Chains A and B, each alone.
Chain A
Amino acid sequence: MMGSLRRLYAMMAMILGRPFGIRMHSCREVAQLLIDYIDGELTPAQRRSIDLHLMACPDCRHCAETYLQTQALTQEIRYEDIPAEFQRRLRSVLLEHLRASH
């Protein structure tokens, strides 16, 4: 059932693109070009083709949305600050190293 729906969406994308002379990308090509699409580095024709594909193909749309969500999560994840106790230990070790290298 899901396979039939995906084929139907792909056909819709092909049909939608033809009157405008747009070559439709496959799902694999959309995945490959996603970083250029997000960075705004595609030609206007390529961008229109991908826009059209994303409108017609929920799998690629979800893939693109979650790609951006992955990027946002990665950027937002916070890591612990340097512990105060380690800062003291580090300073002590390095001062000792500095004095010893005289």
Chain B
Amino acid sequence: MGAASAFNGRMLLFVSWTQGGEGSGTGSPPAPIIEARLSEAERTLLARLAARDEGALRSVLAEHQQRIYQLALKITGSAEDAEEVTQDTFIRLLDSLGQFEGRSSLGTWVYKLGLNLSLMRRRSLGRRPEQAWADPMEGFDDRGHHLNPVGRWRGAVLDTEREQTRRLVREAIAEMPADYHSVLVLADMEGRSRQEIAAMLELSVPAVKSRLHRARLMLRARLAKEFEE
């Protein structure tokens, strides 16, 4: 039973705000990937890679392949696409070693390469799910009241070990409109800060926050169709 089940049917809003900050309610955040500088060890590793050292390539793969594969899988929603994106990311890395100026860590650089290629791949898949997603702010009348009743969710659906829950959540996320999908994946699945996301997607921090909020509301409304009592 996952931690999500702890929310089952309980009024937790009155304490939730005290958790505060980015990715509130989660465990320790991942190491920031933006602003990080190239370490001396990474500089040496890159020099060895530029000299076509196979051991250096193995080290880079061991350090970064899992993270890039999972990012690509979350963005593209397909294992086959994730494999191709991961391979393309490292080939791009090898081919552009001379252009890397060392203004970020190697991890940041690889992550941004992987993200850009993942987003390009998702766009090329040509999904057209947008029309199926209603604007979450349209469900209110002229006075701002809910047009339809909002119910609680069944307790069982909050167990992420449950195959049906996992499938429904993953399918719903995969079908989200691209602008909201990328922000949701980076913030709530990858645990990236809004500042990092803004830098990676070339958006303002308020725009990231606005998209993230709408993405959560849209996903909530979609899941409610399956999960309400």
Contact = CB atoms under 8 A, between A and B. Distances in A.
B197 interface: no
A15 interface: no
Contacts of A6: 145-146, 149
Contact of B90 (A27, A70, A71, A94): A94
Given A75-B191, A77-B169, A77-B173, 18 more contacts: A6-B149, A10-B143, A28-B145, A32-B137, A54-B13, A54-B14, A62-B151, A63-B150, A65-B10, A65-B12, A65-B13, A66-B153, A66-B223, A76-B4, A91-B61, A93-B87, A95-B54, A102-B52
- How big is chain A's contact interface, by range? 35 or more
B205 interface: no
Interface string B4-29: 10011111111011111111111000
Interface in B131-149: 136-137, 140, 143-146, 149
A69 B158 contact: yes
A101 B96 CA distance: 12
Nearest to B153: A66
Contacts of B23: 75
A59 to B, nearest CB: 4
A27 B137 CA distance: 10
Nearest to B10: A65
Given A10-B145, A61-B11, A79-B73, A99 B219 contact: no
A80 B145 contact: no
Contacts of B18: 40
Interface of A: 2, 6-7, 10, 26-29, 31-32, 34-35, 37-40, 42, 47, 51, 54, 58-83, 86-87, 90-91, 93-95, 97-99, 101-102
Contacts of A65: 7, 9-13, 152
A69 B7 contact: yes
Q: Summarize A's interface: helix, strand, loop or mixed.
A: helix
B83 interface: yes
Given A7-B145, A61-B13, A82-B86, A90 B65 contact: yes
B126 interface: no
A38 to B, nearest CB: 5
Contact of B153 (A10, A69, A83): A69
Contacts of B173: 74, 77
Given A63-B150, A67-B216, A74-B188, A81 B94 contact: no
A95 B57 contact: yes
Contact of A73 (B16, B69, B169): B169
A72 B83 contact: no
Contacts of B137: 28, 31-32
A6 to B, nearest CB: 6
A102 to B, nearest CB: 6
Given A74-B169, A78-B160, A99 B52 contact: yes
A46 B144 CA distance: 17
Contacts of B192: none
A15 to B, nearest CB: 16
A96 to B, nearest CB: 10
